[in-house]
Structure 1
Amino acid sequence: MLDLAPLYHLVSLLPFECLQVGFMQQAMAALLLLAPMAATMGVQVVSFRMAFFSDAISHSAFAGVALGLLFAVDPHLAMPLFGILVGFGIMGVQRNSALSSDTIIGVFFSAVMAFGLAIVSRDNTVARDLQQFLYGDILTITETDIHWLIGLFLALTAFQIWGYNRLLYIGLNPVVAKAHRIMVGFWQYLFAGLLALVVMFSVWAVGVLLVTAMLIVPAATARNLARTAGGMFWWSILVSVTSAVAGLVISAQDWARTATGATVILVACGWFLMSALLAYARGDRKE
């Protein structure tokens, strides 16, 4: 098992007293891994107009956790597996149906929510246990979870290095991408699977209700600030990471005492407001 002590030591070097506590160091380490992943996938979600897709995946966490609790399966395992299944299902139907993407995603969104509610309605104890996943609680993350995050971070880094330009082609025109011998189906399914995993890990941090914001807000901010696709990529990471750090630190202050996930999103929204004002001042608005 990978020794996480050096990572915690680096976190403790940040000039904040609250980060000298063990569980806060674990939370910060998890956010520093999760924020860049959410940012990079968020850029592609915005570029491919897939915000509703990520919303459907995040709400499938509700059903995944409910299934795990009902059948005595670790929710941290049931949730990502069910999320990947839903992501693949949406992508498969979308690729083989004449219906619009929004319609297909809407059907899946409704189905997973209804399925989760139906399971919860059978057992009141399950409903109580679901609150942690509904609102998120990054402070309860474990070292095992962080090991999984490191593995996902490495996989996602390899995916972006290998597939970034291919995904740009597919986002612009799948037919042209196929003409350039890009395996469109393979990359779409791989993207859907990795997005599902990032969304599920994000649920631990900010909860089902705010997980889409963790993907969309930094990417939308980056679009206001950047002039190129590459610039949007790096701006999104900067916004996401600084929002995660500031959100965790602010939420730990005695004068705040707010939910960490909600505070992270509020800081990101502050970034977006500043970027929108800057874009307006530059004259970057629709005619």
Structure 2
Amino acid sequence: MPDLTPLYHLVSLLPFDCLQARFMQQAMLALILLAPMAASMGVQVVSFRMAFFSDAISHSAFAGVALGLIFSVDPHLAMPLFGIGVGFGIMAVQRNSALSSDTIIGVFFSAVMAFGLAIVSRDNAVARDLQQFLYGDILTITESDIRWLLLLFAALTAFQIWGYNRLLYIGLNPVVARAHRIHVAFWQYLFAGLLALVVMFSVWAVGVLLVTAMLIVPAATARNLARTAGGMFWWSLAVSVTSAVAGLAISAQEWARTATGATVILVACGWFLVSAAFAFARGDKR
């Protein structure tokens, strides 16, 4: 097991008094890892017009957690496994159906929500345990969770380095991508699986209700500020990381005492308003 102490020490160097507590250092480290992952995937979610897809995955957390609690499986394991299954299911049906993507995702969204609520309705204790996942609580993250985040961060970095341009081709035109010998199905399934994992980890931070915002808002802000695909990627990372750091720091202040996840999203939305004003001043009507 890698020692995370050096990382905590780096986090403690940030100029915030609240970071002297270990649980706050863990929360900040988790957000610094999670925010750029959500932002990088969010750029592709916006490009592929898959915001509804991420919403369906996040709401499948209800069913995943409920199944885990009922069958005595760690919800932190049951939730991502169920999310990956839902993501692969949506992608498989989407690739082999004449129905529109929104229709297919809508069916899966309805199914996982109904399934989760049906399970929860059978046991009041399960319903109480789901509150944490509904609203998110990054302050309860453990060292074990952070190690999983580090592993996912490494995998996602390799994925973006290797597949970013391929995903751009697929987003523009899958037929053209195939003509350039890109294995479209492989990249679509890999993207769906990794997106499901990022969404499920994001549920811990901001909850089911706000997880889509963590993906979409930085990417939308970056689209207002950037003029190239590469610029959009880097702007999205900058917006997400600064929003995560500022959101956690603000939520810990005595005068604020707000939910961390909601505060992170509010800071990101502030970024979006600034970017929208900038785009308007620039005369950008994209």
Return the TM-score normalized by structure 2: 1.00
2:76 matched to which residue of 1? 76
2:249 matched to which residue of 1? 249
Instruction: Within 5 Å, give how 1:31-110 maps onto structure 2.
Output: 31-110=31-110
2:170 corresponds to which letter in structure 1?
I
2:143 matched to which residue of 1? 143
Offset from partner CA, 1:15-61 (integer Å, 9 cap, x none): 11000100000000000000000000000000110000000000001
CA distance in structure 1 between the aligned counterparts of 2:238 and 2:277, rounded to whole angstroms: 18
CA distance in structure 1 between the aligned counterparts of 2:176 and 2:238, rounded to whole angstroms: 32
1:206 corresponds to which letter in structure 2?
V
Offset from partner CA, 1:157-196 (integer Å, 9 cap, x none): 0000000010000000001101111000000000000000
Aligned residues between the structures = 286
**DSSP 3-state at the match of 1:14:** coil
| CA-CA distance at 1:125 after TM superposition | 0.3
1:159 matched to which residue of 2? 159
| CA-CA distance at 1:213 after TM superposition | 0.1
Instruction: Within 5 Å, give how 1:14-33 maps onto structure 2.
Output: 14-33=14-33
Long gaps (5+) in structure 1: none
The answer on 1:181 being equivalent to 2:196 is no
| CA-CA distance at 1:91 after TM superposition | 0.1
2:170 matched to which residue of 1? 170
1:114 matched to which residue of 2? 114
2:270 matched to which residue of 1? 270
CA distance in structure 2 between the aligned counterparts of 1:135 and 1:213, rounded to whole angstroms: 13
| CA-CA distance at 1:256 after TM superposition | 0.3
The runs of at least 4 consecutive aligned structure 1 residues that moved more than 4 Å come to none
2:196 matched to which residue of 1? 196
CA distance in structure 1 between the aligned counterparts of 2:70 and 2:177, rounded to whole angstroms: 44
| CA-CA distance at 1:285 after TM superposition | 1.9
**DSSP 3-state at the match of 1:285:** coil
The answer on 1:238 being equivalent to 2:241 is no
1:232 corresponds to which letter in structure 2?
M
**DSSP 3-state at the match of 1:215:** helix
1:238 corresponds to which letter in structure 2?
A
**DSSP 3-state at the match of 1:181:** coil
CA distance in structure 2 between the aligned counterparts of 1:165 and 1:30, rounded to whole angstroms: 28
1:83 corresponds to which letter in structure 2?
G
1:5 matched to which residue of 2? 5
> CA RMSD for the aligned pairs?
0.5
**DSSP 3-state at the match of 1:253:** coil
Offset from partner CA, 1:130-164 (integer Å, 9 cap, x none): 00000000000000000000000000000000000
CA distance in structure 1 between the aligned counterparts of 2:228 and 2:166, rounded to whole angstroms: 17
CA distance in structure 2 between the aligned counterparts of 1:70 and 1:283, rounded to whole angstroms: 55
Percent identity of paired positions between Structure 1 and Structure 2: 89
CA distance in structure 2 between the aligned counterparts of 1:169 and 1:232, rounded to whole angstroms: 16
Instruction: Within 5 Å, give how 1:209-248 maps onto structure 2.
Output: 209-248=209-248
CA distance in structure 2 between the aligned counterparts of 1:62 and 1:258, rounded to whole angstroms: 24
Return the TM-score normalized by structure 1: 0.99
